[in-house]
């Protein structure tokens, strides 16, 4: 039986590439744009699937792949994919939001606790020897007594809401439409901010959510408010955030993502009211492995290929790891 031809447009672990090659005929996309375009003009007509991570997939890219049936993405976010053009072609899109939701939710709550209780600065306070000299550390804020607005109540947002409920937080959410949940819904993010002590951002990056959290939303949240962003950096207007912090219009923020990664503005780096992490929301060994596995599994399921998780490549790889 002829193996389906797929395009590898992702940097993935070596064992993942071994699996892809075991089950498919794999064509590796050149990194240089001109070479990639020439490559697709030559081979695009026979490509039926894509293993994707960060490569931009726009309508022009899709036009060179007339036989494409499925895109299997390592990431949860699809801001690098023209989703409308893809769906218009009837091309299936698989991502990993269902796999990374738990660890990203854990990270979001960890960041929320870190910024409200000032854990990072408190750690430095002890390590620098200030505790015996200065005495008791300043008080933090209680997330259990806060109203928290979740911006985007999808798979990840719902996992965050579940955890916040266990902490005793009052919840509300904003999104493009109301969901069948017993959490108050806001159709205006500014009004949500005005009624909340904290916003946790989990929404996808789209044209509608680019700079969704702008100066007016930050001002509505107020000088005692907090922002946690584990979505995408450009969901926040970074310059508006910097200006608000400079004017003491926000209590603090915890940011795992930034507008121009990996560049982080010096104003954010210097500000001790912020918790900054390098886009590690899903960054556990277990979840990243499951995400890579899903890239292969989604393709295999689509093409009716039996059991990558129990195939010879997987067995050999697991055996060598023991």
Catalytic (active-site) positions: 232, 261, 279
Round the CA-based radius of gyration of the chain to a whole number and report it.
22
* Helix ranges restricted to H, the chain: 14-23, 33-43, 59-63, 83-88, 97-117, 119-127, 130-134, 155-167, 189-195, 215-221, 238-246, 266-270, 285-302, 312-321
Rounded CA-CA distance 5/254 in Å is: 43
CB 53 within 8 A of CB 33: no
Rounded CA-CA distance 24/182 in Å is: 45
CB 214 within 8 A of CB 242: no
Rounded CA-CA distance 143/303 in Å is: 47
Going through 49-94 in order, the beta strands assigned E by DSSP cover: 49-52, 70-73, 92-94
Rounded CA-CA distance 213/282 in Å is: 23
């Amino acid at each position: 039986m002829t193996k389906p031809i797929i395009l590898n447009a992702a940097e993935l672990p070596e064992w993942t590439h071994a699996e892809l090659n075991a089950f498919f005929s794999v064509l590796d996309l050149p990194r240089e744009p001109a070479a990639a375009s020439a490559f697709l003009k030559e081979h695009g007509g026979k490509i039926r699937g894509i293993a994707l991570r960060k490569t931009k997939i726009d309508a022009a890219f899709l036009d060179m792949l007339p036989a494409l049936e499925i895109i299997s993405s390592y990431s949860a976010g699809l801001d690098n994919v023209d989703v409308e053009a893809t769906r218009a072609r009837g091309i299936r899109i698989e991502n990993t939001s269902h796999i990374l939701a738990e660890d990203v939710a854990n990270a979001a709550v960890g960041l929320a606790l870190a910024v409200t209780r000032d854990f990072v600065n408190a750690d430095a306070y002890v390590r620098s020897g200030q505790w015996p000299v200065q005495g008791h550390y300043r008080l933090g804020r209680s997330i259990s007594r806060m109203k928290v607005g979740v911006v985007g109540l999808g798979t990840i947002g719902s996992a965050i809401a579940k955890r916040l409920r266990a902490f005793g937080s009052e919840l509300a959410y904003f999104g493009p439409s109301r969901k069948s949940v017993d959490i108050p819904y806001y159709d205006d993010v500014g009004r949500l901010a005005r009624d909340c002590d904290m916003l946790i951002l989990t929404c996808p990056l789209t044209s509608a959510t680019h700079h969704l959290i702008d100066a007016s939303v930050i001002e509505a949240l107020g000088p005692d408010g907090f922002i946690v962003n584990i979505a995408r950096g450009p969901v926040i207007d970074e310059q508006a955030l910097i200006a608000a912090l400079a004017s003491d219009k926000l209590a603090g923020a915890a940011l795992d993502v930034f507008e121009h990664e990996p560049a982080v503005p010096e104003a954010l780096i210097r500000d001790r009211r912020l918790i900054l992490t390098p886009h590690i929301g899903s960054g556990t060994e277990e979840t990243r492995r499951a995400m890579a596995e899903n890239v292969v599994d989604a393709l295999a399921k689509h093409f009716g290929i039996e059991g990558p998780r129990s195939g010879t490549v997987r067995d050999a790889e697991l055996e060598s790891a023991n």
